[in-house]
Amino acid sequence: GDRYPHQVSGGQLQRIMAAMALISDPLLVVLDEPTTALDVTTQIDVLRAFKRVVRERGATAVYVSHDLAVVAQMADQIIVLNGGQILEDNGTAALLKSPNHEYTRQLLDAARPAAKIRLDDVARGTAPLLTIQGLTAGYGPRDLHGLPRIRVLEDIDLTLHRGQAMGIIGESGSGKSTLARVVAGLLQPCRGEVTFDGQPLSGDLKGRSADQFRRIQMVFQNADTALNPMHSIATILGRPLRAYHGLKGAAQRRRIDELLDLVKLPRSIAERRPGALSGGQKQRINLARALAATPDLILCDEVTSALDSVVGAAILELLAELRRELGVSYLFISHDISTVRALCDDVAVMYSGHIVESGSRDALAQAPFHPYTNLLVNSVPALRQGWLESTAVTCKLPPISAPTANQRELCTFLNRCPLRVEGLCNHTAPNRRTLVGGSDILCHLDSAQLSAGQPTLVLPIQGAYA
Ligand SMILES: Nc1ncnc2c1ncn2[C@@H]1O[C@H](COP(=O)(O)OP(=O)(O)O)[C@@H](O)[C@H]1O
Ligand SMILES: [Mg+2]
């Protein structure tokens, strides 16, 4: 009660907003995308709070969202709106089971992204394309040991092969974008080695060769700010073609047409400016610009997060197709585990600057998980009614005494871990170990101990290997 709004978290703010909306004992509450900007782990608490309060007050609520799985938890009845028109008005159970409108069907499909790539479709190189070893990085001035005031990434190890799609997931603030920045050469690491195609990759842009520049490209979350609004699409795509390949005139024009074909946009779009394009089209232009360099690695940082689910699903499909056709590799960053699992054959889970679990998509499809992965996986709303009430995410933490070791060396998930063990987790640093499913975790607990604390959960990968 004594704090100012900027001193509380996003989830807390949303709960305060909910409390404010209910001060006047309203008959009707309108909730407009109240959890869209939140992590799934926070969303679950906020949804439960909203639902309880609305029920207790006997109020009527209209819950507006682009996320069908969220709406399915909150509503008895769902209206599907598109282009200003009501396309379907149906009870929640009926709508989920047998949607009447084609657009509702698309929404349902987009909410369950199918795995788009069969591993045997992609020629995977055996030599690593990108290796990261013992990477530590952060922001602010360095201390005597060369470590930054704000330490973000700690001892990151990662290997990416040619043609591979590696997913990085974790909630906001875990250091995903910082990792991309280091690989892109936008942030100098403090410790550790990064190599690209066998050559050391300098942390400083000045130390990189023109070829290294060309071969690593980046696509950002915000398609709007990444494109110069004053330039035509032809100018935007022409620039890297000229810089990296020396293409001019008719040859450049032909390549622009090819790039627009690749990202499935009409060639006529070349004359337009970004302002005249939709969000999905802009993101396709960003991809085309990255592809103009004919890169080996594309760093994708939350590229579908700002798009609605149907448009985002089409971008994922395009990424999968480009990878199949061009053999390009992705470091695919997202806070959304289902997006990552739809596109990537390997996944690394980040928490507070550490990779706490890594493994193949299949290894990460089945419990036991690292306790943080388990929390993430169980926090993603499922497309069925009653999920919110039944999901195994618990807020109860076993009591634990104050840590006895240097805080930095202990497990970073200690304060939130439902399986933490007194005298062990608050006492010694966790080790890396391999679980029965094949993934590597950073944890004190072994498969049997984790399984005992985690209900068996098998995640279907819809459409995979079909
Ligand atoms: N330029 C910066 N200066 C200081 N701290 C930063 C800067 N950029 C990011 N951070 C901090 O680094 C941490 C990780 O941020 P980021 O890599 O953006 O996480 P993510 O992409 O996973 O959300 C956060 O705590 C964030 O506040
Ligand atoms: Mg980020």
How much is the pLDDT for 118? 57
- Cβ–Cβ < 8 Å for 432, 348: no
For ligand 1, what atom is nearest to the CA of residue 172? 23
Give the pLDDT confidence score for residue 123 in this predicted structure: 61
Q: How many CB atoms lie within 10 A of CB 358?
A: 25
Nearest-CA residue for ligand 1 atom 3 is 139
* 413-441 pLDDT per residue, tens: 999 998 999 999 999 999 999 999 999 99
Angle formed by the axes of helices 309-326 and 279-292, to 10°? 20
Q: Which ligand is nearest to the CA of 221?
A: 2
Spell out the domains of the chain, with CATH numbers in brackets: 5-111 (3.40.50.300), 119-355 (3.40.50.300), 364-453 (no CATH)
How much distance in Å is there from the Cα of 41 to the middle of ligand 2? Answer: 16
Closest CA to 69 of 312, 459, 380: 380
Output the ligand 1 site: residues, CB below 6 A. Answer: 139, 150, 152, 170, 172-178
Burial zone of 272 (CB within 10 Å; 0-12 exposed, 13-18 middle, 19+ buried): middle
Which residue ranges of the chain lie beneath pLDDT 50?
A: 458-466
Residue to mutate (ligand 1; options 6, 152, 332; most atoms within 8 A of CB): 152
Q: Whose CA is nearest to atom 6 of ligand 1?
A: 139
What pLDDT score does 408 carry?
77
Which atom of ligand 1 is closest in space to residue 333's alpha carbon?
Answer: 21
Instruction: Report the pLDDT value the prediction gives residue 410, as an integer from 0 to 100.
Output: 92
Radius of gyration of the chain (CA): 23
For a ligand 1 pocket test, name from 40, 139, 302 the mutation site with the most ligand atoms within 8 angstroms of its C-beta.
139
Distant-in-sequence, close-in-space partners of 320: CB < 8 Å, separation ≥ 6? 116, 117, 343
- Report the atom number in ligand 1 closest to the C-alpha of 174: 22
Atom of ligand 1 nearest to the CA of 138: 12
177 C-alpha to ligand 2 centroid (Å):
4
Count Cα neighbours of 304 within 13 Å in the Cβ-side half-sphere: 26
Q: For residue 124, what pLDDT is reported? A: 64
**Which atom of ligand 1 lies at the shortest distance from residue 350's CA?**
22
* Structural contact between residues 261 and 322, judged by C-beta atoms closer than 8 angstroms: no
Ligand nearest to C-alpha 178 = 1
Question: How many residues does the structure list for the chain?
Answer: 466
